[in-house]
Amino acid sequence: MSEHKPSIADLRKSYERAELNEEASQADPLKQFEQWLNEAVTAQVPEPNAMTVATVASNLRPSTRVVLIKGFDARGIVWFTNYDSRKGQELAGNPYAALQFHWVELERVVRIEGVVEKVSAEESDAYFHSRPLDSRIGAWASPQSEVIASRRVLLTNAALYGAKFLLQPPRPPHWGGYRLKPDNWQFWQGRKSRLHDRLRYTLQADASWLRERLAP
């Protein structure tokens, strides 16, 4: 007797953990994000700092990848990467991007859109030198997004740069931070019967935020 394999289309989940409403949410989306991120960390969800970054190339093809948020404040959301990578090249041609956090266990999604700029050299230097030594060597060893013959290329590069720099590798000129300056936030809380809560914050000309409820 063959075992029945469920169809992907039949996979469903009932969302019933929490709610999101206009009265209980923060008027400032950054504060709402900070609250939710702290709750994700406290709940010990897997990699609460992981976010998807979406960019668009000059040929209008979008691409996504997962990176780790490394800081946020009123200026925006910060992450670090190789400037020569695919995302770096796409941001150089089109500086607009979208971010997404998905905290599955809390049934929450945060979406953030805005323009992206490089952080200062001083910020990039400070973060780079706070990283573990093997991560600093890795920034030199990996020609991110380029085709390589095998993993041996990475290991050989790491050995070469490790011998060259020893314990004090400088920050590579092709490596540093980006900051997305939000002009649109969306907070999604799963609810029962697919009647989810979804709040959008849009930046206004006077630097205030317009908060609106969207149909899910």
Rounded to an integer, what is the distance from CA 24 to the centroid of its chain? 25
Helix (H, G, I), strand (E, B) or coil at 20: coil
CB 160 within 8 A of CB 139: no
Active-site residue list: 194
Enter the tokens of residue 187. 């907070």
Question: How far is 20 from 11, CA to CA, in rounded Å?
Answer: 25
Question: How far is 55 from 178, CA to CA, in rounded Å?
Answer: 13
Residue with tokens 């780790």: 68
**CB under 8 Å to 66, separation ≥6 — which residues?**
50, 51, 52, 53
